[in-house]
Each structure stands twice: as structure tokens, then as C-alpha cells.
Amino acid sequence: MSRVDLPAGAPRPTSRQLALWTLVSTVAWLAESLVSTGQSRNMYAGQPGAAPPLVDLWVPSLGSAILWVPFTVLLLWLAYRFPVTGARVNVLVHLAALAVVVVGRALGVVLFNGMFDWYPNGVPGYGELLNTSLFNNLVTFVFVSGIAHAVFYQHTMRTREAQFADARMAALTSQLQPHFLFNALNTIAAYVHQRPAVAERMIVDLSALLRYSVDRDHAALVALDDEIEIAEAYLAIQRNRFADRLQVAVEVDRAVRDAAVPPFLLQPLLENAVQHGLAPQDGASALTITAHRDAKEVVVVVGDDGVGVCDDGAVGVGLSNVRARLAQVYGAGAGLTLGPRNGGGTNATIRLPYRRYAPTAAVRATKEPA
């Protein structure tokens, strides 16, 4: 038998999962006992003599169903811990489980026959009882074990999809961080000897960018307010680079400051506005950041009065990454568009569903004073 690679470390079902499995198994086997009772009842239809009372038919079926509940939970647990497509020894584990089921069901008959009346004339000898238990339970064992493995593989697939999504998001974010770091260092290097005071202020702003990068390295979502704060630090660096040429205005509605957004969402839009919109033209330039609520959506707009950029797919990896990260988090429910700005220039508009940001304990710790 070939081995199938599974995620590192076999998953351990939680107590909540075990409780859920027990509940679902109980309901499923109770339903099976009712179906089985109905089938037995139908067997007496059209035959001479009165059919046994319904309760007399249901009690033995109910007892058999109840005995299967703990074994069903056991097989689900074994499918998680020892799937048959894992190590070869796992097959032996499930064969041992079959023996446990056969012996356990036979023992249940011995202990509870007086209650459920499976054998009205007395329980047969152990040899015959074990043979009967194997014959009656083998197919059911295979069926239940198959369902248990299906549940396990569905869980594994969801886990892998989530891990893949996290890895892809991390990869997209990591492409952005070196990009803005390289640009910021180049700007600081240009001033470190000629204007050291300006360079010092830029280093402080850069440290804020780096701190934000480290703190949010593995965060799937951050507060829009944090994004605005770090965007202002970045723009402070750019204002020093462009001296009096760059004018910045930020207008963010209070109602959306707590909105959850992917980290470094604004950074590529700002870099695109500066590099493609403002830098190529002479004279003063203006850059605006606005954010507001539109029904159930958050609308964030980064605008510039530069030379204008057409959304032809050739605006660089930064905007492509923004689109990819929005699709990763929100699917078709979010997007980025570029369009002309009234009076000239470009508006980069992001629309995404409003979700209130709830910081994790790790994120809260980074904001608390030491």
C-alpha cells in the first residue's frame, strides 16, 4: 500500500468535536433504529396473524443502535489519529478496532440481552456469539469507518486550504515590504549628509514603518485607523523627498476607522500615486486619502492630481498584489479600480465589505506600553 502524505502531526480531535460526534452519532443511530423498525413492521404486512406490537420491534433495534454509538465515535477518532492512508501500521490499528467492535458488541449482547431481548431463548455460546457478531457487524464497521475517513479528509482539505491561503497572503505581503523599504532608504540616503535633521526625522518615520511591518507580519487583518497612521508616516518621508511639491490631505470618517482591512493595503496605492502620478510632473502636487461608509461597504480612495494612470494592467506588482489580497480575503466582494480624477489625475478606489476589527491578544500586547 502506498503512503499518502498528511499534514505534519496527526490532528487531535478536540473535546468539542468529540461531543459533537457523540451527539450526531446518537441521532443517526436512533434514526436508523426507527427505519429498521419500520422495515420489520412491513415484513408482517399481509401475513396471517397479528404483527408484534411496534414497541416490541423497536426495543431490540434501539439497543443495537445504542451499542454502535461509542464504536462510531471510536472509529471517527481513529480516522483522525491513524488514517489508513497514513503509515502502514495504521491498517493494523483498524483491524484491531474491528476486533474490539466484534468482541465489544458480543459482550454487549451478554450484558444487555435481558433488557433488549435480542435472544429470547437465551444467549448462545461464546464461539457462536462471536461468529454472529463478526457476520452482523463487518459490513457496518467498513461503512462507518469509511464515513469517519471521509470526515477526516474533509477536515484535512479545509486545513490545507486555510494554510495555503495564509501562505499566499504572507507571500503577497512580503513582496510589498522590501519594496517600500528600498524606496525609503534611498530617500534617506539622499539627505543624510546634506540635511541630517531631515534625515533623522525620516529615520523616525521609517522606524514606525518597520515596527508596523514586524507587528503585523502575520496579521490577516488590521484596523483601517492603523493603516492611515502608517500611511501618514510614509507620506512624511515622501514630503521630505519632494520638499514643498507634495501636499497631503487625509479625510477619514470616524465610522470606518475601526474597519478591518488587509495590512499594507494603502502602501502600494500611495507609492503608485507618488511614482507614477506625482514624480513625473513639475511643480506642486496634491495627494488625498479619503474613506467613508457606503451602506455595508467601506470605500477608500487614494487620489492624486498627477499625470494620470490608465488601468491597463501595467501599473506594477504593487497594485496587482492589492487586488490579489482583496480577492484572497473577500473573494468577489471587494475590488480595486483606477479611474480619472475630477480636475486631472487618478483615483485608486478600494471597495470592501465593512467588518469591525477585533484585535487578537498578540496585537493588543504590541500596543500596550512596556
pLDDT of the residue at 286:
86
pTM tops 0.85, yes or no = no
**Which of the residue ranges 15-19, 286-290, 297-301, 326-330 would you say has the lowest mean pLDDT?**
326-330
Give the Cα separation of 230 and 211 in Å (integer): 10
Average pLDDT value over all residues in the chain: 80
Greatest distance between any 2 Cα atoms in the chain: 111
Does the pLDDT at position 1 exceed 50? Answer: no
Scanning the structure block, which residue is given the C-alpha cell 484596523?
Answer: 223
pLDDT of the residue at 297:
94
Give the Cα separation of 143 and 184 in Å (integer): 62
Residue 259 Ramachandran class (φ > 0 left, ψ -120 to 50 alpha, else beta)? beta
**Residue 248 is placed in which grid cell?**
497631503
For residue 266, give Cα distances in angstroms to 202, 261, 272, 303.
Answer: 19, 10, 10, 11
Provide the residue ranges of all domains of the chain, joining segments of one domain with +. 15-161, 192-357
Contact 346, 273 (CB under 8 A): yes
**Residue 235 is placed in which grid cell?**
507620506
- Over residues 196-244, the pLDDT tens digits come to 888 888 888 888 777 776 665 556 788 999 889 888 888 888 787 776 6
At the topology level, CATH places domain 192-357 in Heat Shock Protein 90 (3.30.565)
- Over residues 111-155, the pLDDT tens digits come to 998 888 888 888 888 889 999 999 999 999 999 999 988 888 887
Does the pLDDT at position 342 exceed 80? Answer: yes
**Which of the residue ranges 159-173, 256-270, 318-332, 338-352 would you say has the lowest mean pLDDT?**
159-173
**Residue 251 is placed in which grid cell?**
479625510
Tell me the backbone φ, ψ of residue 236, rounded to 5 degrees: -65, -40
